Amino acid sequence: MAFEKVAIANRGEIAKRIIVSCHELNLKTVLLYAKGDIQQEAYRMADERVCIGDSEPIHSYLNISALIEGAKFKGAKALHPGYGFLSENSQFAKSCEDNQIAFIGPCSKDISLFGNKMKARKIAQKAGIPVLASEKISSKDKLKEKAEKVTYPLMVKASCGGGGRGLRLVNNLEELENIIPLVRQEALQNFNKEDIFLEKYLNQAKHIEVQVFISAKGEIFILGDRDCSSQRRHQKIIEEAPSLLPLKMKEKMRELCYKFCSLMNYRGAGTLEFLVQGDKFFFLEMNTRIQVEHTVTEMIYGVDLIKAQILTALGQAVFLDRDLKAQGHSIQCRICAEDPHQDFLPSIGPLLSCVWPLGQNIRVDTGFQQGDQISSFYDSLISKIVVWDTTRKGAMQKMKQALNQTIIFGIFTNISFLNFLLSHEDFIKNQIQINSLEKIHKNWQTNSLPLQKELLESVFKELQSSFNRKGLKKRSFNPWSDFLTNKEE
Ligand code: ADP
């Protein structure tokens, strides 16, 4: 399908990232933005903009008809959904298809198929990929028997869940009976479907994922793996590529992923997620969108996955100019607006000061700058710092240097905890498992400096009130001089 203008149904760093790739392909962009987002970098960089509603996502980034109308109004014949929001919503993709807008991603049928974890597992099994013991739960009867078949501990999962929601760990029947209505409700509220299933819980596993890409012509590219085991509350905070799994296991995974891809007519970027425990690996799910952590794969393969997605929607070839061999090691840290001293409670307010790191092979994907507001309506991710080096050790060193150069003032961030994690013995030895961070975080909390936190809090308060008095005068606002002037007043 031919198009010259791409609508972007997202915000923050990914909106900016998509605009950059579109511009490299000489395509115009239309940012579909929510009312509160006019200060963002993406707003300035887009060629055109349409306000699609109020800040609350339900009125904007989750409002299918507003997004479609916005794209049509500006004559955009293609739309990139980014990640999160409606990126894996088959109804949204279908609405784009019905309105002759190329959805930059797989077709609505494939999104619907793979969006259902139970259905995706069946395809994985067909390809010979091992899956964990699981049981579908349709009513209360046989719950006890089904749970005993799976064996405790187990996870209650919403079939259509995502983003760490619709997912609970249970250890016994009593917990299970209490949790089931909650997960059903969460599933209904967030995903409009209440199907749930039980899955064996692995307590010493690593989260490994494989990036796949299928071109418009159906060529299958397996772009290596990523280790995303550093998670808090089932959400990733540090990702790296490649993983350090034994080569034999990597080869087997690669072979099975290739088989999985060849069983379908899927097009574009996809991620197959696995849990790895000991010498075994198990399929978890397939994500049908670009992942937040696609960057580390880009760094080691030297490719632009967003560009590849757009070219695929245009029916054009991808990666022809590349020797698709991974080189070196890449690490990404997610800089989130949250307070690690308060169990990662989201932190909101104006970004009073914001200095990002610089250096060879240091990449910063952010949609925010000094003066922007971090709002409570959205995810806490404010930036992704990505580094590359020839070795993992070099990449870790570079990341620490990059984090030390990063200064964010006005809101709390997880930078100090990320720094601690990077220097932790388990991380250095590649022994982080999906539940390791709970313990590591507890340790850090007791040993970190509460005094430092108190001091920061009082300085933030002072700066914020000075900032509010002066309004959102970007660039001209210098928190340091303002802070000092106020002190002298
Ligand atoms: P989502 O679609 O919300 O991302 P996933 O099924 O991918 O949900 O699970 C998210 C995270 O939860 C995984 O990365 C992993 O850390 C954890 N998890 C999921 N299933 C299991 C399991 N069976 N055993 C242990 N941890 C699991």
CATH number of 206-447: 3.30.470.20
Q: 388 CA distance to ligand 1 centroid (A)? A: 27
Residue whose token pair is 């950059």: 20
Of all protein residues, the one whose alpha carbon is nearest to atom 13 of ligand 1 is 234
The tokens for 49 are: 């903009």
Which DSSP letter does residue 391 get? S
* Cβ atoms of residues 3 and 314 within 8 Å: yes
pLDDT of the residue at 458 = 67
* Cβ atoms of residues 456 and 466 within 8 Å: no
Atom of ligand 1 nearest to the CA of 205: 25
Measured CA to CA, the distance from residue 281 to residue 206 in angstroms comes to 9
pLDDT of the residue at 274 = 98
Taking residue 231's Cβ as centre, other Cβ atoms within 10 Å add up to 20
Of all protein residues, the one whose alpha carbon is nearest to atom 22 of ligand 1 is 201
| Residue 188 CA to its chain's centroid (Å) | 22
Residue whose token pair is 């995810």: 379
pLDDT of the residue at 111 = 96
Of all protein residues, the one whose alpha carbon is nearest to atom 15 of ligand 1 is 234
Assign 388 to helix, strand or coil. strand
Of all protein residues, the one whose alpha carbon is nearest to atom 11 of ligand 1 is 234
- Order of strands, sheet of 196-200, starting from the edge strand that comes earlier in the sequence: 134-137, 196-200, 154-162, 165-170
Q: 36 CA distance to ligand 1 centroid (A)? A: 32
Task: Count CA atoms within 13 Å of residue 349 on its CB side.
Answer: 23
Of all protein residues, the one whose alpha carbon is nearest to atom 21 of ligand 1 is 201
233 Rama sector, left if φ>0, alpha if ψ -120 to 50, beta otherwise: left
Atom of ligand 1 nearest to the CA of 282: 23
CA dihedral (424, 427, 430, 432) in degrees, to 10, reads: 110
Of all protein residues, the one whose alpha carbon is nearest to atom 2 of ligand 1 is 162
Q: 285 CA distance to ligand 1 centroid (A)? A: 9
Measured CA to CA, the distance from residue 329 to residue 225 in angstroms comes to 11
pLDDT of the residue at 449 = 57
Task: Using most ligand atoms within 8 A of CB, pick from 119, 195, 275, 435 the residue to mutate for ligand 1.
Answer: 275
Per-residue pLDDT of the chain (489 residues; tens, 9 = 90+): 799 999 999 999 999 999 999 999 999 999 999 999 998 899 999 999 999 999 999 999 999 999 999 999 999 999 999 999 999 999 999 999 999 999 999 999 999 999 999 999 999 999 999 999 999 998 767 899 999 999 999 999 999 888 778 899 999 999 999 999 999 998 888 888 889 999 999 999 999 999 999 999 999 999 999 999 999 988 899 999 999 999 999 999 999 999 999 998 999 999 999 999 999 999 999 999 999 999 999 999 999 999 999 999 999 999 987 779 999 999 999 999 999 988 899 999 999 989 999 999 999 999 998 989 899 999 999 999 999 999 999 999 999 999 999 999 999 999 999 999 999 999 999 999 999 999 999 988 877 755 456 666 666 777 777 777 765 544 444 444 444 444 433
Atom of ligand 1 nearest to the CA of 201: 24
* Cβ atoms of residues 332 and 228 within 8 Å: no
Measured CA to CA, the distance from residue 281 to residue 229 in angstroms comes to 14
Give residue limits of the domains in the chain: 5-104, 133-200, 206-447
φ, ψ of residue 365 to 5 degrees: the values are -100, 105
Q: 286 CA distance to ligand 1 centroid (A)? A: 12
Of all protein residues, the one whose alpha carbon is nearest to atom 12 of ligand 1 is 234
Of all protein residues, the one whose alpha carbon is nearest to atom 27 of ligand 1 is 201
Crossing angle between the packed helical segments 479-488 and 450-470, to the nearest 10 degrees: 90
pTM score, whole prediction: 0.91
Q: 230 CA distance to ligand 1 centroid (A)? A: 12
Atom of ligand 1 nearest to the CA of 200: 23
pLDDT of the residue at 481 = 46
pLDDT of the residue at 455 = 60
Atom of ligand 1 nearest to the CA of 207: 14
The tokens for 56 are: 């609350």
Q: 419 CA distance to ligand 1 centroid (A)? A: 25
Measured CA to CA, the distance from residue 152 to residue 169 in angstroms comes to 9
The CATH H-level superfamily of 133-200 is ATP-grasp fold, A domain (3.30.1490.20)
Q: DSSP letter string over 80-133?
A: E--SSTTTT-HHHHHHHHHTT-EESSS-HHHHHHHHSHHHHHHHHHHTT--B--
Atom of ligand 1 nearest to the CA of 203: 25
**Which of 344, 361, 366 lies closest to 418, judged by CA?**
344
**Which of 147, 119, 153 lies closest to 134, judged by CA?**
147
Of all protein residues, the one whose alpha carbon is nearest to atom 17 of ligand 1 is 234
Regarding the domain delimited by 5-104, which CATH topology (the fold level of the hierarchy) does it fall under? Rossmann fold (3.40.50)
* Cβ atoms of residues 475 and 370 within 8 Å: yes
Measured CA to CA, the distance from residue 123 to residue 382 in angstroms comes to 36
Assign 404 to helix, strand or coil. helix
Examine the residue annotation and report whether 17 is marked as an active-site residue of this protein: no
Q: 234 CA distance to ligand 1 centroid (A)? A: 7
Which DSSP letter does residue 148 get? H
Q: 152 CA distance to ligand 1 centroid (A)? A: 16
Task: Using most ligand atoms within 8 A of CB, pick from 119, 167, 225, 285 the residue to mutate for ligand 1.
Answer: 167
* Cβ atoms of residues 93 and 108 within 8 Å: yes
Measured CA to CA, the distance from residue 118 to residue 285 in angstroms comes to 9
Assign 150 to helix, strand or coil. helix
Task: Count CA atoms within 13 Å of residue 97 on its CB side.
Answer: 12
**Which of 261, 134, 159, 264 lies closest to 210, judged by CA?**
261
| Residue 172 CA to its chain's centroid (Å) | 31
Measured CA to CA, the distance from residue 473 to residue 477 in angstroms comes to 6
Q: Catalytic pick from 121, 267, 289, 334?
A: 289
Taking residue 392's Cβ as centre, other Cβ atoms within 10 Å add up to 17
Measured CA to CA, the distance from residue 155 to residue 322 in angstroms comes to 41
Q: Which residues contact 94 (CB under 8 A, 6 or more apart)?
A: 108
Task: Using most ligand atoms within 8 A of CB, pick from 83, 284, 286, 434 the residue to mutate for ligand 1.
Answer: 284
Q: 275 CA distance to ligand 1 centroid (A)? A: 8
The CA angle 454-421-345, to the nearest 5 degrees, is 45
**Which of 199, 217, 201 lies closest to 146, judged by CA?**
199
Q: Which residues line ligand 1 (CB under 6 A)?
A: 132, 155, 161-164, 167, 199-202, 205, 207, 231, 234, 273, 275, 284-285, 434
Single-letter amino acid, residue 179: I
The tokens for 376 are: 């409570």
Atom of ligand 1 nearest to the CA of 154: 23
